[in-house]
Amino acid sequence: MKGVILVRLLRDLWLVSGARLTHPWDASAYLIEGDEPVLIDCGGALGYTALKQSLRSVGYEPGDIRRVLATHGHWDHLSAMALLREESDAELWIHEADHKQVETGDDDLTTAFLYGVPFPQSKVDGLLHDGDVLEAGSIRMEVLHTPGHTRGSVCFLLESSGMNVLVAGDTLFGAYHERIGSNLDSWHRSLDRLCELDVDALTVGHCPPLLLPDGKRRIEEARQQFGVYFNPWFKPFHTEFRY
Q: Which structural domain range is residue 140 located in?
A: 7-225
Enumerate long-range contacts of 175-178, CB under 8 Å, 24 or more apart.
175/149, 175/234, 176/149, 176/230
The band of 1, judged by pLDDT with boundaries at 50, 70 and 90, is very low
Q: Read off the CATH number of the domain in which 122 is found.
A: 3.60.15.10
Residue 242 lies inside a defined structural domain of this protein:
no
Residue 192 lies inside a defined structural domain of this protein:
yes
Residue 154 lies inside a defined structural domain of this protein:
yes
Provide the domain count of the chain. 1
**pLDDT tens by residue, 87-111:** 999 999 999 999 999 999 999 999 9
**Among 125-129, 144-148, 208-212, whose mean pLDDT is lowest?**
208-212
pTM score, whole prediction: 0.96
Q: 133 forms bridges with which residues in the sheet? A: 142
Report the candidate in 85, 130, 83, 79 with the shortest Cα–Cα distance to residue 102.
79
Query: To 10 degrees, what angle do helices 215-225 and 184-195 make?
Result: 150
Cα–Cα distance measured from residue 194 to residue 222, given in angstroms and rounded to the nearest whole number? 10
**What integer pLDDT is reported at residue 6 of this predicted model?**
77
Cα–Cα distance measured from residue 53 to residue 61, given in angstroms and rounded to the nearest whole number? 9
